Structure formats: C-alpha cells, structure tokens
Chain A
C-alpha cells in the first residue's frame, strides 16, 4: 500500500531563515508526490507535485521540493521563510489501487515562522 510519513508534528523557524518540512514515502512503482498547504480556517491549496523529470520541483509561493529516490524522501523547502508561511503542510502520494486516482495524505506538519 502507498503511504507517506511526515516525521515532525511541528517545525519552528525564524523569519528569513531557510525552512525544511520533511516527508518520506513508501510506494510500489513510480511515486507521484504532492505538497498541499492549509492556512488557518482555509481549504487545502496545492503547492507542487513530482511526477517525473528533475528532482527539484518548484511550486507556488517560493516553495520547492526535492525528490530523493535513494532516501525515499520528498522534503519541502524554502530559502527564506515568511511569517505568512505559517500553516499546516501535507505531503501526499497518489494511489492507483483499483485503477482510480486518490490521494493518501501524511499526518501533516505545522510550520510556525517567528518574527
């Protein structure tokens, strides 16, 4: 079965510092990996995805993610954090069981960026 794990419940970072939100995956076959963000009292917003190609994927709001096959990881990164980046971040993997698409989400990581 496909799964993703987000080992950190919360990540704290100072504004202006680089941030990393970790995600590891377990899949059979080629992984399709995604990052979503949920701002307080808001819906889910798509950030970026990895399907194939370059291991470094660029997404919305200055975020990027690095796909590492040997470490089965897909960590979310940003060179310089903003206070407005504070939110809940979800890593997800596509599951094609039964021949139909669905997303399997990680437990989420709360990012807190301090001024």
Chain B
C-alpha cells in the first residue's frame, strides 16, 4: 500500500493554464506538506496543513492555492501557470503529535513542465 500518493506523476501543460495536483495519505497523519524541488534540485517547503487548517505558508505566489478537503488529502491548485513553475512538487505527511517526524513520508513527486 502506498502511504503518500500523488497524482499525476507527470504533467505537461501550456503557460496560462490552471492545473491541480492531488495528494492523499493513508497513514492517519494530521499534518501534510507541499515541497517544491526546482531545476537545481533545491527543495523548499511551500505549504503545510494540520487537520485541514493552513499552518505554514511560505513566500509563494498567490497563484498557488492549497486545498485540504479532509486531513487525508492536500491538493495543490496552480492558476495561470508560468514557465518558472516547472519543477517537481512533493507531498509529505507527518504525525503532528510526533515532533521527531516532520515529513518522513514523502510522495513520489509530480514533475510539472510548463511549455
């Protein structure tokens, strides 16, 4: 069973489009995250939700909007896609009550290519 699953795995789209990436975890974790890995492989947190509540919102353009319908899901919607949004987006989760596991479980990543 996949613990943290993301769909789609690959996404190629044109500039200006709106797209969504979905993430689901079956670990019963309270906290979920979105991380972005840029073309230089640098990883940085974007958002975090705890029990459907936004708790971390790093400096991210407001074209990016996370949505958490329930604590097992955290989707990422991106409006008006730009070339610079091309990256690999990783979803992760952690049990909120265990501070030693801040995102131990990661999804496989979604490679977004904007053309």
- Interface positions of A (Cβ within 8 A of B): 32, 34, 36, 38, 42-46, 49, 51, 88, 90, 94-96, 98, 100-105, 107-108
Contacts and interface: CB of A to CB of B under 8 A. Distances in A.
Given A44-B90, A102-B48, 17 more contacts: A32-B100, A43-B109, A44-B43, A45-B106, A88-B41, A90-B43, A94-B99, A100-B31, A100-B56, A101-B94, A101-B96, A103-B102, A103-B103, A105-B42, A107-B41, A108-B41, A108-B43
A96 B99 contact: yes
Interface in B25-40: 31, 33, 35, 40
A34 B43 CA distance: 14
B100 A44 contact: no
A51 B55 contact: no
Among A32, A44, A51, A90, max chain B CB count under 10 A is at A44
